[in-house]
Amino acid sequence: MKTITLLLTVLCTMFSFGQTEKTGDILINTTQTDDTYWAGENIKVNSVVQGDLVVAGGNLVINDSINGDLIAAGGELYVNGYIADDARLAVGRVTINSEIEDDLIVFGGEVILTENAKVNGNLKCFGGNVEINGEVNGKAEIKGTDISINGIFNETSKIMGEDFTLGPNAKFHSKVEYWNSDGEIDFKEALVNTEATFNETLGDENSELSATTFGTKSPSLWVFYILSAFLVILILHSLFRNTFSEAVEGLEKNWFKSFGIGLIYLFGIPLLIILAFLIVIGIPIGLFATGIFLFSLLFGHLIAALLLVYYYKHKKTRKWNFWGITFLALCVAIILRLFTMLPYVGILISVVILSITYGALTLKVINFKIVPVKK
């Protein structure tokens, strides 16, 4: 009930937020005495928030205490301050370097809990690369692609990953069920008066958490997903509304060209990233490109939803305002998510949608033109 109430509160608050255009770089240096909501390209919190903090943006940094819940959606997030209640995060990359007093639910392309991280409640983690170096005092459920455990788990845990590795400091003080694509692994000294069970059925669960499902299999996660999607759509729409408006002009005649350029983006960028990592001086560029690429994949259907709404508005010459487009994009995003959750077909739909979306944006943003050859 608290989550639903918070969702309604955020929606109402964001309506007033939209009228003041709080976008760009935001620095919070004074104590916030109540629940606080911000959206911007870069947000840094250097002072105490007495209530809940809800933020959305490209780069988010939390350096001081949050005395309520933390809800964040965006590209990259660093949590260095104490969180007195729950944390619900949906980001491209997150690094947690502090204590969370209650539950942590996190969705991300890359999730890192440092050796200073401590979760006193339950942990639910859905990610690509997951690295746990801290301590979890509640039950843990971790699903990902590459999972590295080098921390302490004091209650029962489930771990599902294509690759699952244990570090020298990993300790499990209660039962652990796990699955990984290579089969059973040797826990060595990681088990403290308990046992580890390899469970084949967890592999089926893990396959359901693909890049297309994004953890939207239960009602509670759907509520969290809708909240996160709304925040991300809001910030994207606030910052790039002109880009979306211009990208749909002439799109009807350039579907195939957009699709082709988008395919180059989806499959060409990873190759360039690999090449950058092979060249020592290119590593910083590779890291930056990886973050951007993961963000584009993670939130691609939200970007596609905005583009589709702007395309329909342009084609039908509708006079929708900022908030009408935002809420319509949220509805379209939910529909796209349902389609992309379909087994096998969902992956194909995702590739087509993302290719057309990023192809159309590339054509307009970078002014990509094919110059005709003069005979």
Q: Tell me the per-residue pLDDT of 68-118, one tens digit each, with 9 for 90 and over.
A: 999 887 778 999 999 999 999 878 789 999 999 999 999 877 899 999 999
CA distance 83 to 32: 14
Give per-residue pLDDT as tens, 170-212: 999 999 999 988 888 899 899 999 999 998 887 665 554 444 4
Hunting for tokens 């509640």 — which residue is that? 138
184 is a domain residue: yes
- How many CB atoms are closer than 10 A to CB 234? 25
pLDDT at 269: 84
Degrees to nearest 5, angle at CA 340 with 365 and 105: 90
> Are both 88 and 201 inside the same structural domain?
yes
Q: How confident is the model at residue 1 (pLDDT cuts 50, 70, 90)?
A: very low
pLDDT at 233: 84
Across 230-246, average pLDDT:
80
pLDDT at 370: 46
Domains contained in the chain, number? 2
> Are both 179 and 298 inside the same structural domain?
no
340 is a domain residue: yes
Of 156, 187, 208, which marks where a domain is finished?
A: 208
371 is a domain residue: no
Quick one: which of 169, 160, 308, 148 has its CA closest to 244?
308
pLDDT at 13: 37
CA distance 276 to 307: 31
7 is a domain residue: no
Q: How confident is the model at residue 33 (pLDDT cuts 50, 70, 90)?
A: very high
CA distance 140 to 203: 17
Please give the C-alpha separations between residue 49 and each of 27, 138, 211, in angstroms, as whole numbers: 13, 25, 33
Across 310-338, average pLDDT:
87
> Are both 227 and 195 inside the same structural domain?
no
Give the domain range for residue 255.
219-365
Q: How confident is the model at residue 259 (pLDDT cuts 50, 70, 90)?
A: confident
> Are both 138 and 271 inside the same structural domain?
no
Give per-residue pLDDT as tens, 206-228: 554 444 444 445 555 566 677 77
> Are both 319 and 346 inside the same structural domain?
yes
The DSSP secondary-structure symbol of 374 reads P
Of 163, 188, 208, which marks where a domain is finished?
A: 208
Higher pLDDT, 315 or 340: 315
> Are both 176 and 33 inside the same structural domain?
yes
Least confident of 204-213, 224-233, 245-254: 204-213
226 is a domain residue: yes
pLDDT at 363: 78
Q: How confident is the model at residue 65 (pLDDT cuts 50, 70, 90)?
A: very high
> Are both 167 and 270 inside the same structural domain?
no
Across 335-353, average pLDDT:
81
Per 3-state DSSP, the chain is made up of helix, strand and coil in percentages (nearest 5) of 45, 30, 30
CA distance 10 to 18: 12
CA distance 47 to 49: 7
Give per-residue pLDDT as tens, 261-312: 888 888 888 888 888 777 766 677 777 777 777 777 878 889 899 999 998 8
Least confident of 14-18, 276-280, 328-332, 346-350: 14-18
pLDDT at 14: 38
The pair of three-digit structure tokens given for residue 108, joined into one six-digit string: 């991300």
Largest Cα–Cα separation, the chain: 80
pLDDT at 26: 87
> Are both 53 and 194 inside the same structural domain?
yes
Give per-residue pLDDT as tens, 114-160: 999 999 999 999 888 899 999 999 999 998 889 999 999 999 999 99
Q: How confident is the model at residue 20 (pLDDT cuts 50, 70, 90)?
A: very low
Across 249-264, average pLDDT:
82
